[in-house]
Structure 1
C-alpha cells in the first residue's frame, strides 16, 4: 500500500513553508529535508519503500520548491536555512522526531542536532558531502572569491524579481536536469513543476530563489568540524555514495567515513554504489538500511539478519 501524500503550507515570519507529507499523522514523525535547489518531490520514490509505521513530513526549504524565499538582499547561508527547520518543528510541537536529510538537508540535520541535542531521536544523512563546509586555512581565499565576492558581483541577477527572470524551454530544462543530476525524466519533470512557472508564450521561468546558486556555508576548519560532528550523541546513519568519495567530496573529512572516529559509538556508515542522487533513481539501494534503522535503531544496522 502506497502512503497517502498531502500538501499544505505553514506560516513563518518571512512567508510560507510548503509541507509535503506521507502517511498517518498519528504515527511517529520523521522530518524529511531535501538538498539545495530541489524539492520534496525527490523523496517520492523512496517513500514507496519505507516502513508505513511512520509519518514522513517533507519540508521545502525557503526559496526551494513551493516555499517562499527569504526577503531579498544579502546572500543566504546555512544558518538562515537552519531556522526554517526550527520553525517547522515548533509548528508541529514535536518534542522528539527522526530526521532524514539529503546533501544540504544532511548538513542542516547535523547542525540541528548540535543546536538542539535532545530533540532528534535518530538522524539519517544521505550522502552528507562536506567539501563545502570543511575549508582548510590555505583554501579560505578561494572560498571567499567563490562565494561572497561572486555574490556581490552578480547581486542584481541573484535578486531579480521572478516575473523578470530569464525564460527557458521546458524540454531543454528537463533534459538538463536528467543529464546533470542523472535522474529519470519523470522525477525531473516533477521537480521542475515545483520550482518553475509557465509564461504566456510557451516558455517557463524559474521560481526558486536565484541566490541559492551561491548558497553559503560559513567555513570551518576540518578539525573543528570533526570536533563538532563527533560530539553528537544522537544515533546516526550515514549513507555515503561511492562516486562522491571518488570525487574527493570527503577528502577533508575522512572521519565521516570511519565509524571508529565517533567516541560515542553512535555512528554507522553504509557505503552504497552510485552517485549523489542515487536515492531518487534507485531508492532500493538505500531503503533497507533506512528501514532497519527506523525500526530497530543501531541494533538494526548491526544485525545482518535483518537486511
Structure 2
C-alpha cells in the first residue's frame, strides 16, 4: 500500500505533518476497509518500522511480520537524544514548503530518471524506471513527482523509542518475525560507517530472547535495496516463511 503522501495515495491537508504513527493509522484504515481480521505484513526500511509498530499496537491482527533490511522499531544510538532536533526540523520544513507555494516541477522522463538515480545510487536503472511508474504522473509537458514535497528525511517522521520501550514493544508482538538484513545494507546507505554495532546487537539479542523460535534472522548479499536489485536473494526465504504452517498464537 502507498502511505499518505506517497505514490497514488492522497496528500495530507496543509498543516498536518507526516509521522510514523500516522502511517500506522493508514494501515489500520486499509485493514478496516478490506475487513481483514488477521494478515501478514512485509515492509522495507521505514515501512518495516511502521509494520513493527502496527504489529505491537495491534498484535492480535498480525500473523507474520517480514522486515526487509530494517528493524521493527526505530531505535538509534543517537535517536532519543536527537528526537527533539528531528521534530523541530520536521516542523520547520513543513512550514517552509507550505509557505513557498511553488508548483510541482515538471521535467522530462529522462531527467526525472537521472535525478532519481543520483539521489538513490544503490538502485539500478531498471528498478528506478519501475519505481517511477508509480512515483510519477505524466502531464502534458513531462512528469511530476507524486510524493508530497513536505516529505523530507525519514528521521523527521520516525518515532524513536528507548531501549526499555523497545523491549516492551517486542514483548507485545504475537507474530512470527523474519528479519532479512542486507550485508551492504542500511548502515551503508544511511550511516557514514557501520562501526557502532551496539544497536544492531541489542536488537538481535532482544528479539531472540523475547520471540525465541518465532524469530528468524538471515543475512543476504547486496545492498539496502536487495529486494529490488536482486529479488532472488530474498524471495526464497520469504516464500518459505509465508508458506510455513507455523502461525502466531492468539494469546500469549
Same fold at TM > 0.5: yes
Distance across 2 between alignment mates of 1:220 and 1:194? 32
Shift of 1:69: 1.5
Shift of 1:89: 0.8
Contact 1:122 1:297 in 2 (8 A): no
Q: Which whole-Å deviations, capped at 9, do the CAs of 1:173-205 have from their partners, x for residues lacking one?
A: 3123335252232321232232323454x3433
Q: Which whole-Å deviations, capped at 9, do the CAs of 1:254-296 have from their partners, x for residues lacking one?
A: 2333463334431110011111111001000001100111111
CA, structure 1 residues 251+209, in 2 after alignment: closer, same or farther (shift >3 Å)?
A: farther
Distance across 1 between alignment mates of 2:71 and 2:115? 22
- Kindly report the root-mean-square deviation, in angstroms, between the aligned alpha carbons of the 2 structures: 2.8
SS at match of 1:273: strand
Match of 2:170 in 1: 229
Contact 2:59 2:174 in 1 (8 A): yes
For residue 161 of structure 2, the aligned residue among 220, 224, 231 is 220
Match of 1:239 in 2: 180
Contact 2:62 2:174 in 1 (8 A): no
Q: Per chain length, whose mean CA-contact separation is higher, i.e. which structure has more relative contact order (CA < 8 Å, sep 6+)?
A: 2
**Is the deviation greater in 88-97 or in 166-175?**
166-175
Establish whether residue 255 from structure 1 lines up as the match of residue 238 from structure 2: no
For residue 153 of structure 1, the aligned residue among 92, 95, 104 is 92
Mark the runs of 5 or more structure 1 residues left unpaired by the alignment: 1-58, 300-307
Contact 2:90 2:157 in 1 (8 A): no
Structural mapping, 1:163-242, within 5 Å: 164-179=103-118, 180-200=120-140, 202-214=141-153, 215-242=156-183
Distance across 1 between alignment mates of 2:129 and 2:16? 30
Shift of 1:237: 0.7
Contact 2:44 2:67 in 1 (8 A): yes
CA, structure 1 residues 64+251, in 2 after alignment: closer, same or farther (shift >3 Å)?
A: farther
Kindly indicate which of the two structures has a greater share of residues assigned to helix.
Answer: 2
Query: How many residues of Structure 1 are paired with residues of Structure 2 in the alignment?
Result: 237
SS at match of 2:65: strand
